[in-house]
Chain A
Amino acid sequence: MSEAVTPLNGADFEGLATIKDAGLSGMITLRGDLASKEVKAAVKKAVGLGIPLQRQALSGQGTAVLWMSPDELLLLCAYDEVAQKIAALEKALEGQHFLAVNVSDARTVLRISGTGARETLAKLCPVDLSPGAFTPGMVRRTRMAQIPAAFWLDDSGVFYLICFRSVADYAFGALKDAALPGGEVGVYG
């Protein structure tokens, strides 16, 4: 089998924020009726987590569940466990109307950390990223410069951003540009 690599191949940049290729991540799109007990049980079985509230994320040991839309979740797990998780989901949801797809190679994940992380993202996304408005555990799908992107904030203040693999280079370049030293705005203190 061919060796899987991320499109950015481990790139990182140190500026106002640290932007880093988060490496290979397992990502599963799960669509279905999020209110149903079957979906709840299936997610619990696959990644050991519950169903997050609207625009929230739940994370566990190496796994996470992100609320993407009223009928869509994104499950995160280790890259090599995806097939097994999908099999678990398919078994648990047999007979239900649902969709579970491996999107690990269609998307890429970037890690944005450091004191300038909020400002770096705020330069590119039309989102209120002030500490009072965007709190840990929140997920936001939005526009980042010219591309769609989704990001969430974990408890340690690190942003994880997901975008399509095909535009990973653009995303990294745009973030790098926004984090160039000398471009401080200081709007978030």
Chain B
Amino acid sequence: MLILTCPCCGVTGEETEFHQGGEAHLKRFGPGSSDDDFHTYMFAKENPKGAHFERWRHNNGCGKWFIMARDTVTLEVYGTYPAQTHEPPKNIRDAITAKRPGWTWRDFA
């Protein structure tokens, strides 16, 4: 069971109040992109053992999307931040580094 705080309305709730919406920080490749780029965007997802970044939606609450950093092994929630963020904020990275020194996730570290 994940306990997380919605950065949009401030509610701290458990995961059944929210819904996961796939990997975060994706760069989208649509019409006009190369097949390779589209293939990578569409199918090549991260599958980490450790820190992971996902989009979540507070679907039984304020209805807003946000991003959550969590650990796929310990189920620890490192933190949440607004969906309009292009890379994880420093406090989230620091929280991950404290538990998993040397972590990397795509281009982030």
Contacts and interface: CB of A to CB of B under 8 A. Distances in A.
Given A55-B10, A140-B11, A148-B59, A70 B16 contact: no
Given A126-B14, A126-B17, A141 B8 contact: no
Nearest to A68: B62
B14 A55 contact: no
Given A126-B16, A126-B17, A143-B16, A69 B11 contact: no
A127 B61 CA distance: 12
B60 A141 contact: yes
Contacts, number: 38
A96 interface: no
B13 interface: yes
Contacts of A68: 62
A26 B67 CA distance: 35
Given A54-B9, A140-B11, A69 B60 contact: no
Identify whether the interface residues of B are mostly helix, strand, loop, or mixed: loop
A143 B17 contact: yes
B5 to A, nearest CB: 12
A69 B63 contact: yes
Identify whether the interface residues of A are mostly helix, strand, loop, or mixed: strand
B25 interface: no
Q: Interface range on chain A: under 10, 10 to 19, 20 to 34, or 35 or more?
A: 10 to 19
Contact of A142 (B8, B10, B60): B60
Contacts of B16: 126, 143
A148 B59 CA distance: 8
B58 to A, nearest CB: 8
B9 A55 contact: yes
Contact of A143 (B8, B10, B60, B63): B60
B9 A69 contact: yes
Contacts of B10: 54-55
Contacts of B13: 126-127, 142
Interface of B: 8-11, 13-14, 16-17, 59-64
29 contacts: A54-B9, A54-B10, A55-B9, A55-B10, A55-B11, A68-B62, A69-B8, A69-B61, A69-B62, A69-B63, A69-B64, A70-B8, A70-B62, A70-B64, A72-B62, A126-B13, A126-B16, A126-B17, A140-B11, A141-B9, A141-B11, A141-B61, A142-B11, A142-B17, A142-B60, A142-B61, A143-B16, A148-B59, A148-B60
